[in-house]
Each structure stands twice: as C-alpha cells, then as structure tokens.
C-alpha cells in the first residue's frame, strides 16, 4: 500500500439545533458584519438566519441560482463591498454555497456554510462559475468555508423527491472516491460509511420526510461524502454528469441519480474491490454494485432514465463525444462507442446486469 494524504476539512458543528451556534461561530471568526447568501426560494430561511444574529448581520442577498453565473457573483461582491461585509454566510444547497465560493474567490472573505441539501459542496475547495454559457471549475483553498453548521432540522423542508436525488448525488461522490486514482484508506472508510448511512436512511426520509432521526443520518452521510469529494479525484460519472448538466441543461441531482448505476456498470470490471465495498455499504453484499445502486434509486422513487428528465435521444451521440474529448483518470479506459452505449442504457433506464 502507498498513498499521500493531507486533510483539509472545515470546522463542523453537527446536530439538531446546530444553527443556534451561529453567533458564537461568527465570533470565533471575528466577524461582525455577515452577508447572508441564499436562493430566492430560500429567502425566508435567510431572514430567519438574520434574525438570529441581529448584531452581526450586515444584510441579505438571495439571488443565488444553479451554476453560479459570474453576473450574480459580481452583484453579490458589489453588495458585500457596499455593506462592508467581513464574512459570508451561505444557507441552502450547492447553489447558495457556490455563490459564496464565487464571492470568496473575488473578495477573500471567510465564509460559514449552512447546508440544506446533501450536495456536499460545503466540504470542498472546488468552485464552478458560468460565463457566457460555459461552466468552468477550479480548486482554491480560499473558497473552502471556515465553518459548517449541519442542522438536520433545516432539511425537513426538502421534498422527498429532492432528498432522494440529492442523496444519490452524495452517494456518487463516495462511489467514485472508492475507485479514485488517488484513493487513500481514510477517505475510503469515510466513503463506505457515507454510502451506508445514506442508503439506510434515504428510504426512511422518502417514506416520512419529517423523520428527524433519518434526516440526521442522511446529513451525516452527506457530510462524509462531501469530505471525500474534496479530497480525492472524481472520474467518469462526474464527467458525464458535468457534460449533461453543462451542455444539455439537465437537472444536477437527478442526472447524478440516473447516471450512477450505469457509470458503475462501466467501471465495475476494472474496479472489483471498490465495487465489492460499494455493494457491502449498500447492504447488498451479494448483488453487483451497479444493480444495487439502480435498485436503491427505484426504492426511492427517483428518476431512472435520462428520457424522463428531459434528455433528447438525438443528443446522446454528441454527449458521448464531449465526455470522451478530454482525457481524465478512470478505472476503465474511456471509449466513445462504449460511452454511447452507456448513455443509451441510461436514456432508456434499463437495470444494469448483476
């Protein structure tokens, strides 16, 4: 065995009621004028956060949207400067966190993240920005939040449908971490635990979105999956989802849900140990990892085909070409014709074989 490992994990306050720690956590950062960032849909949550920190809040900016357009980042930076903000507080999913990252990159302000989905962006130094229709991503430690408050109570309002797809999005990080080129034993342990926690709790959340214990287990799993996303390289699955989201405008979490079993089927013969660990973590040690992931999505009532989430069949060929264009590390060599077959199966929503 040989590996290189360097931990870079923000301070985490986890548990029901963790939001109450915000004033103290801001004090720890020496922040007195926080700018709260969120989406238009979560304006009320942003106002509730502001109400908790009356003496430490400079203002609210609730214009975050998917894929972080540079124009919105510029507006938020302007607001931060105008208000003389000394800290950012992002409440919401990957879109709110993503906006805070864009602003942090520009202004170097420290940030606190309060995630309300399972996307995991709050644990990574990875940012994405969209300019003139093209999304570029990068890594920069300045965008990594200083502190993250994980409060499961804030996820109670996440619909069963979004919980299912967001949870599968988190599982996808852990799946690819287990066969990553730069995998390491610590991240692999966290990845297995993340898959196990989410796959046990997600069916309970879908059945009863107000189940607080299940919400807590899901958020714990999402934290683990977010950590591994920030520490090891992703492969084919994330590349395909990035292509489908960026060039064909498919919804982020739902795309991850549909593609994951098929990307796993593509890689499984070249990543046998990882596949076994994934099956075990899913509680299906005797089933292949790919069909076990498909079955989990089915149990959750999540979308199973690209056709059902807005992909056009005529676009599959160009998606395969785009995803095969730039080289990247993956257990199985990237082959455009095989990628097309993968996408065709994902389009139709067929269950991968054991």
Ligand X SMILES: NC(=O)c1ccc[n+]([C@@H]2O[C@H](COP(=O)([O-])OP(=O)(O)OC[C@H]3O[C@@H](n4cnc5c(N)ncnc54)[C@H](O)[C@@H]3O)[C@@H](O)[C@H]2O)c1
Of 304, 253, 258, 280, residue with least CA distance to 199:
280
Q: Which of 56, 107, 111, 116 binds ligand X (CB under 6 A)?
A: 116
Question: Please, what is the minimum distance in Å from the beta carbon of residue 191 to ligand X?
Answer: 15
Q: How far apart are CA 198 and CA 166, in angstroms?
A: 10
Report the 10 Å Cβ neighbour count for 52. Answer: 13
Taking the least distance from each CB to ligand X, the nearer of 110 and 128 is: 128
Taking the least distance from each CB to ligand X, the nearer of 228 and 275 is: 228
In this structure, are strands 111-115 and 147-150 parallel, antiparallel, or unpaired? parallel
Q: Is 218 in the site for ligand X (CB under 6 A)?
A: no
Question: Please, what is the minimum distance in Å from the beta carbon of residue 251 to ligand X?
Answer: 8
Question: Please, what is the minimum distance in Å from the beta carbon of residue 154 to ligand X?
Answer: 6
Q: Is 94 in the site for ligand X (CB under 6 A)?
A: yes
Taking the least distance from each CB to ligand X, the nearer of 96 and 188 is: 96
Indicate the burial class of 312 (C-beta count within 10 angstroms; 0-12, 13-18, 19 or more).
exposed
Length in residues, the chain: 354
Q: How far apart are CA 271 and CA 180, in angstroms?
A: 10
- The residues that bridge with 282 in the sheet, in sequence order, are none
Taking the least distance from each CB to ligand X, the nearer of 35 and 129 is: 129
Question: Please, what is the minimum distance in Å from the beta carbon of residue 249 to ligand X?
Answer: 12
Binding mask 48-67 for ligand X (x = CB under 6 A): ------------------xx
Q: Which of 252, 292, 342, 347 binds ligand X (CB under 6 A)?
A: 252
What are phi and psi for residue 61, nearest 5 degrees?
A: -135, 105
Q: How far apart are CA 239 and CA 322, in angstroms?
A: 10
Contact 244, 319 (CB under 8 A): yes
Question: Please, what is the minimum distance in Å from the beta carbon of residue 241 to ligand X?
Answer: 9
Binding mask 313-342 for ligand X (x = CB under 6 A): ------------------------------
Q: Is 257 in the site for ligand X (CB under 6 A)?
A: no
Taking the least distance from each CB to ligand X, the nearer of 106 and 317 is: 106
Of 263, 13, 81, residue with least CA distance to 271:
263
Taking the least distance from each CB to ligand X, the nearer of 37 and 346 is: 37
Q: How far is CA 15 from CA 97, 150, 199, 215, 217, in A?
A: 19, 6, 20, 10, 10
Q: Which of 25, 35, 61, 92 binds ligand X (CB under 6 A)?
A: 92
Interacting residues with ligand X between 164 and 183 (CB under 6 A): 166
Contact 19, 153 (CB under 8 A): yes
What residue ranges bind ligand X (CB under 6 A)?
Answer: 39, 41-42, 66-67, 92-96, 98, 116-117, 119-121, 124, 126-128, 154-155, 157-158, 162, 166, 229, 252-253
């Amino acid at each position: 065995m040989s590996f290189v490992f360097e931990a870079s994990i923000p301070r985490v306050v986890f548990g029901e009621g963790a939001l109450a720690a915000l004033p103290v956590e801001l004090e720890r950062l020496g922040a007195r004028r926080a700018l709260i960032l969120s989406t238009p849909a979560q304006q009320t949550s942003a106002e509730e956060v502001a109400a908790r920190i009356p003496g430490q809040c400079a203002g609210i900016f609730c214009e975050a949207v998917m894929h972080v357009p540079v124009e919105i980042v510029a507006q938020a930076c302007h607001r931060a400067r105008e208000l003389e903000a000394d800290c950012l507080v992002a409440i919401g999913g990957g879109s709110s966190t993503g906006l805070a990252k864009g602003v942090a990159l520009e202004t170097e302000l420290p940030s606190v993240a309060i995630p309300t989905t399972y996307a995991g962006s709050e644990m990574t130094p990875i940012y994405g920005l969209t300019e003139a229709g093209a999304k570029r991503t990068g890594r920069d430690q300045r965008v990594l939040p200083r502190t993250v408050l994980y409060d499961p109570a804030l996820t109670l309002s996440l619909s069963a449908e979004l919980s299912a797809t967001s949870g599968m999005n988190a599982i996808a990080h852990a799946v690819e971490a287990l066969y990553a080129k730069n995998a390491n034993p610590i991240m692999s342990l966290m990845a297995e635990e993340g898959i196990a926690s989410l796959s046990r709790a997600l069916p309970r959340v879908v059945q009863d979105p107000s189940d607080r214990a299940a919400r807590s287990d899901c958020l714990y799993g999402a934290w683990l999956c977010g950590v591994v996303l920030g520490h090891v390289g992703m492969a084919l699955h994330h590349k395909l989802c990035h292509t489908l989201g960026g060039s064909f405008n498919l919804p982020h979490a739902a795309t991850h849900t549909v593609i994951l079993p098929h990307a796993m089927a593509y890689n499984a013969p070249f990543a046998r140990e990882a596949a076994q660990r994934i099956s075990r973590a899913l509680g299906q040690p005797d089933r292949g990892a790919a069909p076990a992931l498909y079955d989990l999505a089915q149990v959750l009532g999540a979308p199973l085909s690209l056709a059902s989430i807005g992909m056009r069949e005529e676009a599959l060929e160009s998606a395969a070409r785009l995803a095969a264009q730039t080289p990247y590390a993956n257990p199985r060599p990237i082959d455009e014709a095989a990628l097309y077959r993968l996408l065709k199966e994902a389009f139709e929503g067929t269950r991968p074989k054991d």
